[in-house]
Chains A and B, each alone.
Chain A
C-alpha cells in the first residue's frame, strides 16, 4: 500500500505500538474525515485492514496486541460509544461491550489480547473498568502458537 497520508496537512494523533514494537496504529486526520491506520514500522508501509474504517462511523483511540493481530478501538453504534475489536486474522470487527450503558473512553488492550481496560463514567466520575474476554480467546503472545496473522 502506498502512503499518501504520511505527510498529512491535518496531522495524526493517538499513536500506539504493538507489543513487539513492529506495528504502529494511529488516527490520521483528513480534511473531512479521520481514519484509523496501522503502519508496519519495519517494512515502512501501511498494512491493509479491510472493513476497519466505515463511512460515517468514528474509529479512534487504537491499541494493538503483541503482534498487532488484535486492534482495539473506540467506535460508535446507535449514538453510543462502544469498544470494538478488529481481528486481522479474520479481518472482522466485533463489538465487545454490547449492553454496556455508560459513557466509555480510552480503551487499551493487553498485549496478550485477553484483557481490555477503559475509562467509564458509570459511577458518576471517571473510573477504570477491566474487561475480560475470557480464557478461550486465542492469545497473541511471543513464541506462542498464534502465527496466523496475514501480512
Chain B
C-alpha cells in the first residue's frame, strides 16, 4: 500500500512538473536558444522579475552584463534603446506592469547608483546621485509608485524607499 502511494506521488510529480502537459503548477518551456533573442541563452541569465506580460533580467550574452526585457506573450525581446552601455555593470532590474518604468542598479567608475529608465522618453535618471552610500537590489511596485532598494548604513545593509510621486526618500517607519 505504501509503495502504491509512493508510486502515485512520483507519477503525479512527473506529470505535473516534468512533462508539463498535465496539471499545475507547471514549468513553461523557454529553452536555451542559439541566438540572442530568447529568454534564455548559452550565457547566464540573472535577477528575473515579472510584471504583467514583461520579464526583465540581466544577461552577459553579449559580453557584458546588461538589462534585457522579454515579452512573454510575443515570446521575444523588446529593445531598450539608450539603457545599456559598455562601461557600466547593470544588475537587478525591475519593471512596472504598464511597461513604462524600469529601475535598476548600475556600477559606473566604481560607484553604485539606482537609475529609473523611462521607456517613453528613453532616458535614465540617477535617483541616488546625492547619496554617499553604496546601493543595490532595487525593485519598483507594479503601479510604479514606490521604489525600494538596499543602501549601506554603518556597516550593514538597510532598506530605503523612494516615492516616485513625492520624489522623496523614506526609511521604514519614518515616512
With a cutoff of 8 Å between Cβ atoms, the chain B residues found around residue A16 in the complex are 139, 148
Question: How distant is B109 from chain A, measured CB to nearest CB, in Å?
Answer: 25
Tell me the nearest residue of chain A to B155, going by C-beta.
A11
With a cutoff of 8 Å between Cβ atoms, the chain B residues found around residue A125 in the complex are 42-44
Q: Are A132 and B173 in contact (CB under 8 A)?
A: no
Complex Cα–Cα for A118 and B50 (A): 10
Assuming the contacts A117-B55, A128-B48, asked whether A15 and B24 have C-beta atoms less than 8 A apart, the reply is no
Q: Are B173 and A29 in contact (CB under 8 A)?
A: no
Q: Are B50 and A119 in contact (CB under 8 A)?
A: no
With a cutoff of 8 Å between Cβ atoms, the chain B residues found around residue A118 in the complex are 48
CB of B175 within 8 A of chain A?
yes
Tell me the nearest residue of chain B to A116, going by C-beta.
B50
Interface string of B33-77 (1 = CB under 8 A from A): 000000110111111111110010100000000000000100000
Complex Cα–Cα for A116 and B20 (A): 15
CB of A33 within 8 A of chain B?
no
Q: Are B137 and A134 in contact (CB under 8 A)?
A: no
Q: Are B149 and A108 in contact (CB under 8 A)?
A: no
Q: Are A6 and B172 in contact (CB under 8 A)?
A: yes
Question: How distant is B133 from chain A, measured CB to nearest CB, in Å?
Answer: 12
Complex Cα–Cα for A119 and B72 (A): 16
Assuming the contacts A14-B137, A26-B159, A117-B49, asked whether A20 and B143 have C-beta atoms less than 8 A apart, the reply is yes
With a cutoff of 8 Å between Cβ atoms, the chain B residues found around residue A29 in the complex are 156
| Residue in A6, A17, A136 whose CB lies within 8 Å of B148 | A17
Complex Cα–Cα for A14 and B136 (A): 9
Assuming the contacts A17-B140, A19-B97, A117-B48, asked whether A130 and B27 have C-beta atoms less than 8 A apart, the reply is yes
With a cutoff of 8 Å between Cβ atoms, the chain B residues found around residue A128 in the complex are 30, 39-40, 45, 48, 55, 57
Interface residues of B in 72-103 (CB under 8 A from A): 72, 97
With a cutoff of 8 Å between Cβ atoms, the chain A residues found around residue B13 in the complex are 98-99
| Residue in A11, A123, A132 whose CB lies within 8 Å of B24 | A132
Q: Are B50 and A109 in contact (CB under 8 A)?
A: yes
With a cutoff of 8 Å between Cβ atoms, the chain A residues found around residue B57 in the complex are 128
Q: Are B26 and A129 in contact (CB under 8 A)?
A: no
Complex Cα–Cα for A117 and B68 (A): 15
Q: Are B150 and A126 in contact (CB under 8 A)?
A: no
CB of B110 within 8 A of chain A?
no
Complex Cα–Cα for A51 and B124 (A): 41
Complex Cα–Cα for A49 and B95 (A): 27
CB of A110 within 8 A of chain B?
yes
Chain B residues packing against A (C-beta within 8 Å) = 13, 16-18, 23-28, 30, 32, 39-40, 42-52, 55, 57, 72, 97, 137, 139-146, 148-150, 153, 156-159, 161, 172-173, 175
Q: Give 6 pairs: A residue, B residue, CB < 8 Å, sorted on A.
A: A12-B158, A12-B172, A13-B137, A19-B142, A111-B51, A119-B47
What 5 pairs between A and B have smallest CB-CB spacing? A134-B24, A11-B156, A19-B142, A15-B148, A99-B13
